[in-house]
Structure 1
């Protein structure tokens, strides 16, 4: 048991305390303080964990958006390359077809020209023989020419007058 004296002016107070009770009160205060501190620490830890989770989720969202943007750009680039290749293939095909048509046209023209020259040579031979013939005043020659895509026809008629 503890005795304490306190003076207030002319008044003297004598305080008697039970030491065990004081120790018990101090222990309870410490426990309450410790419990309060633990509660506050736990609440602070929960708030910090929530904030860290929010930051991580935000970072992951930004990373996912950036990846999506890059993927979209890459798909668009591939699509543009594919369109360019298709366009080049179409131009190459058109040029090839144009060249083939031109060659076919030139070959057809050459074949018709060749046939025409054959007919002209035949006409010259006939005219030459006809002029050498004694009776060329007795008859007339009339010719008719038909040109088709595949051949050249020439008809000669001898008309007696």
Structure 2
């Protein structure tokens, strides 16, 4: 089309500005519709106060506009807080369980050690009693054998004294002589010799 110098042309608007204006108009229309529906519901509730709450139909909120995004952010943040508290509770429960298992293991080890010590003490006592009894029995047997050996030795020595002779003597030294006393036992016979040897002793 040609340009007419006499006529003034209107300014052209951007497409983005037009789209923004249309969105604002739509949001205003939606708000008006929502407000009208809310007013009608309030009026119906006032008219019928005895109506049961189960008959009321819950309308799903529209997911359009900035309010929906705010609700989504709030829901996400609440879910994050709940998950965080649940994680902390789970970690605390795990720590308590680990500590309790450690305590149980220590108590079990202590009981096991006490049982082992008691068993070892019983075994030591039994072994001690057995050793004392064996020592007493062996000592009694040894004393009997020793007594019998002493009896046999006494009879044997008496027999030797009866069959063989032996000598027994003593001497006494004075300033001038040497006095000797000798006894010879021959069974039941006894021979005694006494002699005085003056000094100096000659061959």
- How far 1:115 sits from its partner (Å)? 4.7
Structure holding more helix per residue: 1
The counterpart of 1:41, out of the listed 70, 73, 86, is: 86
> How many correspondences in the alignment?
122
Q: Return the match for 2:76 from 31, 52, 64.
A: 31
**Of 76, 80, 95, which aligns to 2:125?**
80
Aligned ranges 1:61-72 → 2 under 5 Å: 61-72=106-117
- Aligned equivalents of 1:21, 1:61: Cα separation in 2: 60
Cα distance between partner residues in 1 of 2:63 and 2:152: 132
State the 1:28 CA deviation. 0.4
Question: 1:154/1:35 Cα in 2 relative to 1: closer, same or farther (>3 Å)?
Answer: same
Partner of 1:82, secondary structure, is helix
Is 1:100 the counterpart of 2:145? The answer is yes
Larger radius of gyration: 2
Question: Shift of the alpha carbon at 1:86?
Answer: 2.0
TM-score, with normalisation over the residues of structure 1? 0.62
Q: Deviations over 1:15-48 (max 9, x none)?
A: xx99321211111011111100110111011111
1:91 to 136, 153, 176: 136
Greater RCO, 1 or 2 (C-alpha within 8 Å, sep 6+): 1
**Per the alignment, in what secondary structure is the counterpart of residue 102 of structure 2?**
helix
Partner Cα distance (2:132, 2:140) in 1: 12
TM superposition score normalised by structure 2 = 0.50
| Cα drift, residue 73 of structure 1 | 0.5
Q: Aligned runs of 1:6-155 on 2, under 5 Å?
A: 19-115=64-160, 154-155=188-189
Q: Equivalents in 2 of 1:145, 1:71: separation in Å? A: 75
Question: Residue by residue, what CA displacement relative to the aligned partner does 1:55-92 show, whole Å, maximum 9, x if unpaired?
Answer: 10111011011111011111111211221122123212
Call closer, same or farther: CA 1:74–1:145 in 2, change over 3 Å: farther
- Distance in 1 separating the partners of 2:133 and 2:63: 104
Dislocated runs of 4+, deviation >6 Å: none
